[in-house]
């Protein structure tokens, strides 16, 4: 992760935000497509560029010195404790929004998602933007810098490939190296504590449920029907354009044989090919680390690389199911869901 921020580029990007324009910037999770969170027309440009549904909320990023109380009301002590433990970092908190914060960033809900990223370039941008605001409370609405539902970008070049028109029209893309975490932030709902609803994990991420529970001293709940909508929680999301299929490790060789007639295959697996399975011009076998943090770090970059190589299908060995892999399984599962492939009966193919 780059530790340097070019002051001239940061100043220009902050000026673009002030003018209601878009800016792409790095965070420790993925690159974001940002706009002034309090400018509805600017936020609308995010939705238009991404093709994002208008009722799908976006996360507001604030500088380390930012006042959470400006954006949210009745900030509970649980939120303060989690901020102390994990901010700056990859944790988004859903809180009751302040009355003066509009619908543009909340998808029409009475809650708001807030995060303070740790990447130095993101912090430099957020500080410069806030300093330029009359009240010093600038926030940048920033979902991932990709078209809606597609693989999130973890490098600046991914953003440029995703938004060539916007880049050609002058949208700044701040460089920050490869994202350190590689998948989106954990999202925790604390907006209903006053109603007796405990903390609810809306999206798993680098900050685990166990870590949150260690701070709060209470169990983290699973999403319920009344939970607020949040970024990246649709059933199908994070998908490459090449059909992606999750396959149990014990069935991997069988799946390769069954899909061979479909065209060129790419296999993402923890183990080497089984006996009788030979990589060739029509079969690429990609070995991946059996460590969830390193797997997550390279996941999106790997999917983008495979997506660009013209494969007919990507087969991904299903990761372990223990809690350490929750965030990875969430992203891979949603990517596979985008293609509605039935892998339960390989013998029928």
From the CA atom positions of the chain, what is the Rg in Å? 21
**Is 208 assigned to a binding site?**
no
Q: Which residues of 55-81 are buried (b: 16+ CB within 10 A; e: fewer)?
A: ebbbbbbbbeebebebbbeebbebbee
Q: How far is CA 51 from CA 73, 136, 146, 163, 237, in A?
A: 30, 31, 9, 12, 13
Q: Which residues of 254-269 are buried (b: 16+ CB within 10 A; e: fewer)?
A: bbbebbeeeebbbbbb
**Is 47 assigned to a binding site?**
no
User: Three-state DSSP class for 214?
Assistant: helix
**Is 100 assigned to a binding site?**
no
**Is 106 assigned to a binding site?**
no
**Is 115 assigned to a binding site?**
yes
- 36 with 130: CB under 8 angstroms? no
**Is 238 assigned to a binding site?**
yes
**Is 294 assigned to a binding site?**
no
Q: What are 79-88's contacts with CB under 8 Å, separation 24+?
A: 79/190, 81/215, 81/216, 82/188, 82/190, 82/212, 82/215, 82/216, 83/116, 85/211, 85/215, 86/207, 86/211, 86/215, 87/115, 87/116, 88/64, 88/116, 88/117, 88/118, 88/123
Question: Residue 12: which H helix or E strand, with range?
Answer: helix 7-18
Strand order through the sheet with 32-36: 23-25, 32-36, 140-141, 59-61, 111-115, 91-96, 186-189, 200-203
**Is 142 assigned to a binding site?**
yes
- 212 with 199: CB under 8 angstroms? yes
- 247 with 343: CB under 8 angstroms? yes
Residue list, annotated binding site: 29, 52, 61, 115, 142, 144, 152, 185, 203, 238
Feature table: binding site for ATP: 52, 144, 152, 203, 238
Residues making up the binding site for L-threonine: 29, 61, 115, 142, 185
């Amino acid at each position: 992760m780059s530790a340097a921020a070019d002051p001239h580029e940061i100043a220009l990007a902050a000026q673009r935000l002030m003018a209601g324009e878009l800016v792409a910037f790095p965070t420790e999770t993925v690159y974001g497509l940002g706009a002034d969170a309090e400018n509805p027309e600017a936020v609308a440009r995010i939705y238009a560029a991404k093709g994002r549904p208008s009722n799908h909320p976006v996360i507001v990023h604030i500088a380390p010195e930012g006042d959470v109380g400006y954006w949210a009301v009745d900030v509970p002590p649980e939120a303060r404790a989690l901020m102390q433990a994990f901010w700056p970092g990859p944790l988004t908190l859903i809180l009751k929004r302040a009355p003066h914060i509009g619908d543009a960033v909340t998808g029409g809900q009475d809650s708001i998602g807030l995060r303070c990223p740790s990447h130095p370039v993101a912090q430099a941008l957020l500080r410069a933007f806030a300093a330029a605001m009359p009240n010093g409370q600038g926030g940048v609405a920033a979902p991932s810098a990709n078209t809606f539902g597609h693989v999130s970008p973890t490098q600046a070049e991914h953003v440029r490939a995703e938004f060539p028109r916007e880049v050609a029209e002058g949208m700044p893309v701040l460089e920050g190296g490869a994202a350190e975490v590689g998948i989106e932030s954990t999202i925790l709902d604390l907006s209903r504590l006053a109603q007796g609803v405990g903390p609810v994990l809306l999206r798993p991420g680098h900050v685990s449920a166990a870590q949150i529970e260690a701070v709060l001293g209470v169990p983290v709940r699973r999403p319920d029907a009344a939970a607020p909508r949040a970024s990246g929680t649709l059933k199908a999301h994070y998908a490459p354009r090449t059909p992606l299929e999750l396959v149990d490790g014990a069935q991997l060789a069988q799946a390769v044989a069954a899909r061979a007639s479909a065209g060129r295959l790419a296999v993402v697996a923890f183990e080497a090919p089984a006996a009788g399975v030979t990589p060739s011009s029509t079969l690429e076998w990609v070995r991946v680390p059996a460590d969830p943090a390193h797997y997550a770090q390279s996941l999106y970059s790997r999917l983008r690389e495979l997506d660009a190589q013209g494969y007919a299908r990507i087969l991904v060995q299903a990761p372990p199911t223990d809690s350490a892999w929750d965030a990875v399984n969430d992203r891979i599962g949603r990517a596979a869901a985008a293609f509605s492939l039935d892998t339960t009966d390989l013998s029928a193919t």
